[in-house]
Amino acid sequence: MTPHNRKNHSRPSAAADSAATVKANLPGGDSAVAQEALLAKNLLQQTVSLQDAIFNSANFSSIATDAQGVIQIFNVGAERMLGYTAEEVVNKITPAEIHDPDEIIMRAAQLSLEFGTTIQPGFEALVYKASRGIEDIYEITKIRKNGSRFPAIVSVTALRDEDAAIIGYLLIATDNTSRKQVEVAQSVLDQRLRDQQFYTRSLIESNIDALMMTDTLGIISDVNQQMIELTGRTRDELIGAPCRNFFTDPARADTAIQRALTESRVNDYELTVQALNGDETDVSYNAATFYDRDRVVQGVFASARDVTERKRFERALKETNIELEHASRMKTEFLATMSHELRTPLNAIIGFSEALKDGLMGDMSDSQRDYIGDIFTSGHHLLDLINDILDLSKVEAGMMDIELEPVDVRLLLEQSLLIVRDGAAAHDIQLRFEGAEDLGVSLLDMRKTKQIVYNLLSNAVKFTPDHGNVTLMAKRVPRSAVGKIAGSWPVHDFPLPASTVLDFLEIRVDDTGMGISSENMSKLFLAFSQIDSTLARRFEGTGLGLATVKEMVGIQGGTVAVASADGEGSTFVVWLPLGATDQVAPAWSAPGVELTGTTDRESAPASKVAGATDRPKPHPFNPAPAAVAPKSAEPEAATPVGPDKKVYSTTTGQPAARSQAQQEHEAKSEKHVVLVIEDDAKSAEVLRLLLEAEGFRVIVAPSGSFLASLGQSSRSAGQLGFWRLGFV
């Protein structure tokens, strides 16, 4: 047999078969011997066939060499793994030539150290242990014919003859690529797991809260450093101990665990941790259950946040709130007092100065009349300032109520224009009104609406140069149109409060004034604020007008906006929610009264009033003459009851023009008696002067109890008239 002519050379020679045949055919051989020989032959054939099947398996690389390492057998598995045919390697190369040379050098060095002898890199390094009778299995990189590499597991066995002499080596190898891939993948997974564990641990340890994990019985299984510091105990002391042991109320701590187990979560549960040294810390306990992959509850993960400072702050806040409530009550009482105490002396100042100015106390020189006029004007200005401050304070203090009533919107707006008419005329400013036809009657807070419109108009007139224009416009709009101002000017607006109201009254005031730059528009609607300090010196005012507008609109559920361009003009818009009504708005003036002006407690200075423009109150009293009604007084008509119906004009300082028939009637009519009930003597004196100047006989009483004695005198005094003094 020539080994290089066949791929499989491990089969025994035919000599064994021949020997068995010869033995069976020997003369004198009996049948038993023949049968035994035949059985042995069959067994040998089976063994050889099994060896052939194993040796030539495509799953294993089997390479046999002679004692010098030259390849003698190269099976099918070796051909498949390495890409060589048997003819290309048998009797031509050693296995060292199909392995990674660097790894062979490394293996030789390792074996040299291990056995204390020099082992040359090459075939010897591959079989050295086997040559010493040592089982040798190692991993090494094989190189295919095409140069590609793959990891392999190699088992080396020395082949020996009958005398135990080495006649060759058998190297059986398996491709370890799949296993290496699995190992690499497993290594990656292991690294990810380690990274995840490190990340999780970092989160736990870096948390500002004390964290712990317990099992379902409340036994601690893990804690972080914050928990160690909070309790003053070591990690070993905490792990394995019941968590209830570290709280001042163990039963409450148990309840927290049970609630977490039954409800899956506990939030903001108040507990107190007790440290080893006795220190107690208020904590907010939050917990949630955690599960295994089968969704079986494993325990509770809990955090305990130190809320000691928060508790201290809450206590301080509670005490502060009590103080603030007290201060608010004091402010309310102060406003109620100041509303009367500040206005009452001003009423006297304004009233007496007006009486002097109008010549009721006799003639004066021009300089005296000028000084009295200054006192009168300054008094009104001071009253305006006081009213602005008190009104805004009322809104901020929540003391201003909404009083809805049927209002003829068009009439309200037209009368509001009359308030600023004189001021506009003084600077040749044209006033225009554009009202939609469907304004009609709506439920509004009339006083506040008039105050809002007056403030906007007053501002527009104040900041519009001579010969300019101010336009008041109004229309009904849907909710979707609120906050929108057409045009190219920048807009500064405010959000509309949430409500179910769908219809709004849009009141718009346009002017051709100085305009406002976009960066300054954010300063509007702020109390005590004007966009330019020079304006405060140039124009009188507190900077409260627009702030009051915004607050009064806001408490009614509306909003405001402004659009403007520097040097071009401004547009101020308010949107007020509308309530539908079938009622008719009451008339604002009595028949036969000549109207030459308007008045409003919340809006107009009394000096601008020359007629009754406000609606009567539902009682038989008509209001006092507007000449003495301060800006902040209750809005009332200024028309006296009776046949006289004279209207006093504070614009001219003289009674309003009356027809000849009216004057003749006055001369013939019986003098009327007016009862003035006023506890402030100066205010009563002002009224007496003004009424007597109109031809009335005045009876002054300090209180309403005087009415008890009025019966007899009234029967002899003729017709008696009353004014309701809403401003007193």
For residue range 510-556, list pLDDT tens digits in order: 999 888 888 888 888 887 666 654 554 455 555 677 888 998 899 89
Please answer whether residues 678 and 687 qualify as being in contact, where contact means their C-beta atoms are separated by less than 8 angstroms: yes
Output the CA–CA distances (angstroms, integers) from residue 143 to 403, 596, 672, in the order listed.
Answer: 99, 116, 133
583 located within any domain: no
Give me the DSSP letters along 233-282.
--HHHHTTSBGGGGBS-HHHHHHHHHHHHHHSEEEEEEEEEE-TTS-EEE
Q: Higher confidence at residue 614 or residue 541?
A: 541
Q: What is the CATH number of the domain that holds 572?
A: 3.30.565.10
Q: 241: pLDDT confidence band, cut at 50, 70 and 90?
A: very high
SS3 state at 71:
strand
Top-ranked range on mean pLDDT: pick from 23-37, 385-399, 488-502, 682-696: 488-502
- How many domains does the structure of the chain reveal? 4
How much is the pTM? 0.43
Q: What is the structure's pLDDT at 50?
A: 55
- C-alpha 313/C-alpha 320 separation (Å) is 10
Give the model confidence (pLDDT) of 435-447 as tens digits.
Answer: 998 898 999 998 8
Per-residue exposure over 150-175, b if at least 16 CB sit within 10 Å of its own CB, e if not: ebbebebebbeeeeeeeebbbbbbbb
Least confident residue range of 27-36, 489-498, 673-682: 27-36
638 located within any domain: yes
- C-alpha 392/C-alpha 381 separation (Å) is 17
138 and 211 assigned to the same domain: no
373 located within any domain: no
Residue among 273, 215, 279 nearest 242 (CA): 215
Q: At 151, which helix (H) or strand (E)? A: strand 149-160
69 located within any domain: yes
Output the CA–CA distances (angstroms, integers) from residue 388 to 51, 346, 377, 455, in the order listed.
Answer: 115, 15, 17, 10
Q: What is the structure's pLDDT at 94?
A: 95
Q: What is the C-alpha R_g of the chain?
A: 55
- C-alpha 541/C-alpha 470 separation (Å) is 19
164 and 218 assigned to the same domain: no
630 and 706 assigned to the same domain: yes
Least confident residue range of 252-266, 282-296, 334-348, 707-721: 707-721
88 and 169 assigned to the same domain: yes
546 and 639 assigned to the same domain: no
63 located within any domain: yes
Domain, as residue range, for 223: 207-306
Q: What is the structure's pLDDT at 707?
A: 56
Does residue 17 have a pLDDT over 80? no
- C-alpha 705/C-alpha 82 separation (Å) is 128
304-312 average pLDDT score: 89
392 located within any domain: no
675 located within any domain: yes
